Amino acid sequence: MSLENIRDDEVDIVIGALHSDLTTFMNEWKPMFCRFHLIIVKDPDLKEELRIPDGFNLNVYTKSDIDQVVGSSTSILFSGYSCRYFGYLVSQKRYIISMDDDCIPARDNKGFLVDAIAQHISNLSTPATPFFFNTLYDPFREGADFVRGYPFSLRSGVQCALSCGLWLNLADYDAPTQALKPEQRNSLYVDAVMTVPAAAMLPISGINVAFNREVLGPALIPALRLAGEGKLRWETMEDIWCGMCVKFVCDHLGLGVKTGLPYVWRNDRGNAIESLKKEWEGVKLMEEVVPFFQSVRLPASAATAEDCIVELAKVVKERLGAVDPVFTRAAGAMLDWVRLWKSVGSGASSLRA
Amino acid sequence: MSLENIRDDEVDIVIGALHSDLTTFMNEWKPMFCRFHLIIVKDPDLKEELRIPDGFNLNVYTKSDIDQVVGSSTSILFSGYSCRYFGYLVSQKRYIISMDDDCIPARDNKGFLVDAIAQHISNLSTPATPFFFNTLYDPFREGADFVRGYPFSLRSGVQCALSCGLWLNLADYDAPTQALKPEQRNSLYVDAVMTVPAAAMLPISGINVAFNREVLGPALIPALRLAGEGKLRWETMEDIWCGMCVKFVCDHLGLGVKTGLPYVWRNDRGNAIESLKKEWEGVKLMEEVVPFFQSVRLPASAATAEDCIVELAKVVKERLGAVDPVFTRAAGAMLDWVRLWKSVGSGASSLRA
């Protein structure tokens, strides 16, 4: 495939606001955000008014907007981190870049501020190479290339549909790791982008990601919600499940997933020790989820992300539903999401900015 | 699995000498090499006497040693880069670290000399995680861990059997890339080790590698020799084919392969433009090799590296033999190698040091 030329007006930056005061967050990102349209979705559980500085091109969506578009006819919940998915739904842009509101721009090994937006756009606009591993990392990076032995027929690559960024300072650990190593901080800036090979599974974190909404949008779903889910990233599973679904869909459709750059700087939040008191439902669920995704195959007739999610939801219900009711609910939410995506996409909403 | 404790006397450093004067090479590596036993195998085509500085614990093997051990009853050729495999054969150690003689120690991002030997040993002594991708790279590195969503049942990992290092300055490109971009040099030091996921194929370069000889030795084979093969790395395929076989065997046996650190600094050698005059037989062969390895499966009864290579050789002959006689010869060499490995291992050689 050839390079995609991504224009600024083809991108929406989506921010799920879990905190009312976005002043510092927005000001830190201003040099990177100012050229783009922003969608800010306020966590429907958040009571206070949002504080957003001037000087941005943005639309804010709140609980009343969500109620108006989604109504009560769905199993999808947009509370907490899941509020960002409402932004994915109402966007009209080809690309989404999504960022948690506790992240600020990171600095690279030379001390320069990292433009995470530009890096995500670069990741999405150059091909991915999921069918053979390049030991020299991203072959499309300046100064890099394919290693000796890399088959020429695979060098054109495939479309990159998802770009997963990483985290400095507070890395994306789960509750037990965070609790066992409360002092651990990530200070290693690994200067590399790579394609995650086809068939390799990974948990995608929603903290700092970008994707091609046009081809992959229906596959990014807030489907799996834990009973004891809180407002701390380490207590959630919605993006992990979403990531497993998305990678699975990408593998089926022959699309690429990249990981590595850009880094963002994650600020500390919450008390890890408190989370020790919780039951780590998500940790147990992953033991069921991994063998499931390793073994499931979709029919070749599933040719779009929507098709894939509908097919996948059926198998989730059949094979995982008996294990835990959380999976039955997830399967229902996946189907509801596809219906919602279609109805909003077909002009049912007057809210789209 | 738990950490392996690798003692200095369990390691052989193998150097295939394609150049007679090893003085600079050996002196540059002295701080890293001096604690280990070295096996130097002189390219049987090299006429001049080797020049090796004092102060090392080593054995040198030459054409007469090769003739004595291998005799004429085999299809294996040990000329050029393939001479290193003779070192793998006669070693009695559990681990091999192999280094091309045009490499010297690299410097990291902070300007410190990299101890490639220590890094390879570290890679081999900590588990690999081929069954799920960790976006935070090697979870066993100090300061790192498993990312949120990584299944706990997979966190103990598997034995790492192969460690592939990388190259600064002259990267490991093929002849066409080298010829098209003669000025391109690799200056990007990516500070990461990662496990290559199961089922992901990669071309392993023999320039800077380490492996567990006890479990994987019989799978490192100089089997595929191109008609127009020269004494420049970019003109060879022997290690690419070997790497495809080794990764395939590791996947079948549930062993891990790591790539990334350590880097070495590769000095320029040869005229890339000259290679434009050659026919790039290897480039064409890879187009056959990749679909082959993607589709072949071994019986579960193949439980050792030896078993795997014997089974694989059969399928190579059957399915690739008709495509090009080079594959029939490779299949023959694979079987010869396993026989040779067994005979030398059972004490047929009086040369072992």
Q: How far apart are CA B44 and CA B108, in angstroms?
A: 35
A145 vs B: CB within 8 A: yes
Angle at A79 between CA A77 and CA A81, to 5 degrees: 110
Which neighbouring-strand residues pair with B11?
B95
Question: Looking at residues B316-328, what average pLDDT do you find?
Answer: 95
| Residue A279 pLDDT > 70 | no
Domain limits for position A297: 102-347
Measure CA of the first residue to CA of the last residue in chain B; give whole Å: 31
Confidence of residue B236 (pLDDT cuts 50, 70, 90): confident
Q: Is the pLDDT assigned to residue B353 strictly greater than 60?
A: no
Question: In this structure, what are the phi and psi dihedrals at residue A255, rounded to the nearest 5 degrees?
Answer: -100, 160
pLDDT digits (tens, 9 = 90+) for A143-202: 999 999 999 999 999 999 999 999 999 999 888 888 888 888 999 999 999 999 999 999
Give per-residue pLDDT as tens, B289-313: 999 999 999 999 999 999 999 999 9
Tell whether A265 is covered by a domain.
yes
Does B231 or A17 have the greater pLDDT score?
A17
Q: Tell me which residue has tokens 């001390």.
A: A111
Are A218 and A343 within 8 A, CB to CB? no
What pLDDT, on a 0 to 100 scale, did the predictor assign at position A353?
44
Other C-beta atoms within 10 Å of A98: how many?
24
**ipTM value for the complex:** 0.92
B197 touches A at CB < 8 Å: yes
Is A137 in CB contact (< 8 Å) with chain B?
yes
Q: Which of A207, A210, A211 is nearest to A264 (CA)?
A: A207
Q: Structure tokens of B30?
A: 């002295």
pTM of the predicted structure, to 2 decimals:
0.94
Residue A308 lies in a domain: yes
If you compute the radius of gyration of chain A from its CA atoms, what whole number of angstroms results? 19
The minimum CA-CA distance between A304 and chain B, rounded to whole Å, is: 25
CB within 8 Å of A234: residues ≥ 6 apart: A172, A173, A174, A175, A178, A270, A272, A275, B148
What DSSP string runs through B306-333? HHHHHHHHHHIIIIITTT-HHHHHHHHH
Q: Would A66 be classed as within a structural domain?
A: no
**Residue B10 domain-assigned (yes or no):** no
pLDDT tens for each residue of A206-227:
999 999 999 999 999 999 988 7
Give a yes or no: residue B1 inside a domain.
no
When pLDDT is averaged across residues A241-248 and rounded to a whole number, the result is 96
Please report whether residue B335 resides in a domain.
yes
Query: B-chain residues within 8 Å CB-CB of A129?
Result: none
Assess whether pLDDT exceeds 90 at residue A1.
no
Whether B178 is covered by a domain: the verdict is: yes
Whether chain B has a CB inside 8 Å of the CB on A315: the answer is no
Whose CA is closest to A143, among A192, A95, A182? Answer: A192
Secondary structure class of B140 (helix, strand, coil): coil
Q: Please count the residues of chain B.
A: 353
Residue of B164, B338, B130 lying closest to B251 (CA atoms): B130
pLDDT digits (tens, 9 = 90+) for B332-352: 999 999 999 999 986 544 454
**B225 confidence band (pLDDT: 50, 70, 90):** confident
What value does the mean pLDDT take over residues B148-167? 96
Dihedral of CA A73/A78/A84/A85: which sign? negative
Residues 6 or more apart whose CB falls under 8 angstroms from that of A27 comprise A53
Domain annotation covers residue A77: no
Q: From B240, which residue of chain A is nearest by alpha-carbon distance? A: A149
| Tokens of residue A150, six digits | 């890399």
pLDDT of residue A348: 42
The domain tally of chain B equals 1
Q: What is the mean pLDDT of residues B47-55?
A: 97
